[in-house]
């Protein structure tokens, strides 16, 4: 089989998606924007120039490193992405950077369309960057797989409106991206892409639920949970003080304002429990002022340092209101950390409540208070729950995700073969 993959970004799950096909000799080409690869003369030149200006720029470019494929399997359309990175670095205007991102996505889609040919067995594309490509694939009767990384936009728009009503003090400086004519135009494009795609690849049953509720045919939605990192469990022992950890963007979507509220209600003695908050703070500082007891707040830290923090904590807590997956959950589990999360977090698919973690209703502060209080009062039970979390992570690694993804796609492509063979356009 020859499967063409197009994705302007290269986050961990998209990289594993490409690897899944390459490992089984199913990958035709991976089309992307900028990629850092030792065999790419362009990226090598750009890194040399960046090094002479500021070494920190090089580190940012190296986040796009993708050395798992030979460069012969990669095609790049880098210029708009490089422009976006430069605008973000030198101009720092959110609106300008956002518009460059949108224009770049559309032009990437048009460029990818030129790469699609009749000899392909399938195309795999990314939401918002695939409308023209999906039209071309449908005209050629090539099966298409559409990667939907998070919940349907109507779900989060409703969450955004509801939380803005309940908590008017929340920062809404990015509201134009969720509830505005601009977002309406972009979401209409996503809806059209969903209609055109033969199959929709999602990471969780939560995402599938939001798509189904929005009218997407459930038969074309394929759920393949993301994998867990290699396990490196921390020593499991009862600690004198229960340390609750949250890491990631402190945002409305992640429900961090609900965690602040729950901690205020819980108000534990500093000797009994502590709260650590790590990540970019996007909520008003006033919401965090006056949090009682032992609270430590810190900005973003390197990923390796974060993995160490998991090993020093007692419980990871993520009360998300809308999260397609949340890889911090699987990271925490791989280190033997019990997780408190919600049914609106995709990674909750890997958790059985009370056995290897805790799954709560979303937007329920009282349930969060109750569960955190339980952890403090039953700290002797946390090590065993952590051990079960590790076993869950060990049983669903990234290699398992790649295997299931490749097998799922192969199966659906085979189902399309009789249809393509009888199509007169295909001969």
Residues 6+ apart with CB under 8 A from 139: none
- Residue 229 pLDDT more than 80? yes
Domain that holds residue 354: 242-396
Q: Examine the pLDDT at 343 and tell me if it is beyond 90.
A: yes
For the chain, the domain total comes to 2
Question: Cα–Cα distance between 168 and 283 in angstroms, integer?
Answer: 12
Q: What's the pLDDT score for residue 238?
A: 80
Instruction: Name the average pLDDT for the chain.
Output: 91
Query: CA 167 to CA 300: how far, in whole Å?
Result: 25
Q: In whole angstroms, what separates CA 248 from the centre of its chain?
A: 12
Residues 246, 376: one domain?
yes
Whether residue 208 is found in the same domain as residue 286: no
pLDDT band at 416 (very low <50, low <70, confident <90, very high): confident
Is residue 392 located within the same domain as residue 403? no
Residues 405 and 390 in one domain: no
| 235 pLDDT more than 90 | no
Q: Are residues 275 and 343 in the same domain?
A: yes
pTM surpassing 0.85?
Answer: yes
Same domain, 248 and 219: no
The token pair at 373 is 């209080």
Overall average pLDDT of the 304-320 stretch:
95
| Residue 49 counted as domain residue | no
Q: Do 407 and 348 belong to one domain?
A: no
CA 395 to chain centroid, in Å, comes to 21
Give the mean pLDDT of 368-386: 97
Mean pLDDT computed over 209-235: 95
Pick the closest to residue 383 from 405, 365, 356 (CA basis). 356
Q: Are residues 131 and 276 in the same domain?
A: no
- Find the range with the poorest average confidence among 75-79, 169-173, 259-263: 169-173
User: Sheet harboring 221-223: ordered strands across?
Assistant: 74-76, 27-32, 3-6, 122-126, 144-147, 199-202, 221-223
Helix (H) or strand (E) holding 144: strand 144-147
Higher pLDDT, 217 or 49: 217
Q: Is the pLDDT of residue 175 over 60?
A: no
| pLDDT higher than 60, residue 227 | yes
Nearest to 412 by CA among 215, 234, 198, 257: 198
pLDDT per residue as tens digits for the range 351-375 = 999 999 999 999 999 999 999 999 9
Work out the angle between the directed axes of helices 79-90 and 55-62 (0-180°, nearest 10).
Answer: 140
Judged against a pLDDT cut of 50, whether residue 141 lies above it is answered with yes
Query: Could you report the per-residue pLDDT of 116-129, keeping only the tens digit for each?
Result: 999 999 999 999 99
Predicted confidence at residue 46, as pLDDT, reads 87
Mean pLDDT of 419-427: 57
At 179 the pLDDT is 63
What's the rounded mean pLDDT across residues 260-274? Answer: 96
Residues 420 and 406 in one domain: yes
134 and 253 in a common domain:
no
Residues 361 and 405 in one domain: no
Name the more confident of 293 and 234.
293
pLDDT band at 391 (very low <50, low <70, confident <90, very high): very high
Which CATH number characterizes residue 403's domain?
A: 3.40.50
> Taking residues 60-73, what's their average pLDDT?
87
What is the Rg, in whole angstroms, of the alpha carbon atoms belonging to the chain?
Answer: 22
CATH number of 294's domain: 3.40.50.2000
């Amino acid at each position: 089989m020859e499967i063409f993959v197009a994705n302007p970004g290269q986050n961990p799950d998209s990289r594993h998606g490409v690897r899944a096909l390459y490992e089984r000799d199913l990958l035709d080409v991976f089309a992307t924007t900028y990629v850092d690869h030792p065999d790419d003369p362009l990226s090598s030149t750009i890194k040399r120039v960046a090094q002479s200006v500021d070494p920190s720029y090089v580190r940012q470019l190296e986040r796009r490193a993708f050395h798992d494929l030979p460069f012969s399997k990669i095609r790049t359309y880098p210029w708009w992405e490089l422009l976006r990175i430069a605008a973000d670095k030198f101009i720092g205007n959110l609106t300008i950077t956002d518009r460059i991102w949108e224009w770049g996505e559309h032009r990437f889609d048009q460029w990818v369309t030129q790469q699609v040919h009749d000899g392909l067995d399938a195309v795999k594309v990314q939401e918002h960057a695939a409308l023209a490509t999906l039209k071309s694939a449908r005209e050629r009767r090539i099966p298409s797989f559409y990667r939907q990384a998070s919940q349907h936009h109507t779900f989060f728009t409703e969450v955004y409106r509801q939380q803005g009503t309940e908590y008017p003090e929340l920062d809404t400086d990015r509201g134009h991206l969720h509830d505005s004519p601009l977002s309406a135009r972009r979401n209409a494009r996503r809806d059209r892409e969903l209609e055109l795609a033969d199959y929709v690849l999602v990471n969780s049953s939560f995402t599938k639920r939001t798509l189904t509720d929005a009218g997407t045919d459930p038969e074309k939605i394929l759920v393949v949970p993301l994998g867990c990192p290699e396990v490196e469990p921390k020593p499991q022992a009862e600690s004198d003080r229960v340390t609750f950890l949250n890491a990631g963007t402190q945002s409305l979507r992640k429900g961090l304002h609900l965690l602040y509220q729950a901690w205020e209600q819980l108000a534990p003695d500093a000797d009994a429990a502590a709260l650590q908050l790590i990540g970019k703070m996007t909520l008003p500082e006033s919401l965090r002022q006056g949090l009682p007891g032992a609270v430590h707040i810190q900005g973003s830290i390197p990923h390796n340092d974060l993995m160490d923090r998991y090993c020093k904590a007692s419980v990871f807590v993520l009360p998300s209101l809308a999260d397609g997956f949340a890889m911090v959950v699987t990271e925490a589990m791989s280190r033997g950390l019990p997780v408190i999360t919600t049914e609106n977090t995709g990674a909750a698919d890997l958790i059985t409540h009370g056995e290897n973690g805790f799954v709560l209703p979303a937007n329920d502060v009282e349930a969060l208070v109750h569960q955190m209080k339980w952890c403090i009062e039953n700290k002797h039970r946390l090590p065993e729950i952590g051990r079960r979390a590790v076993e869950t992570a060990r049983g669903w690694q990234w290699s398992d995700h790649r295997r299931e993804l490749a097998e799922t796609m192969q199966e659906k492509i085979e189902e399309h073969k009789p249809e393509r063979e009888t199509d007169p356009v295909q001969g």
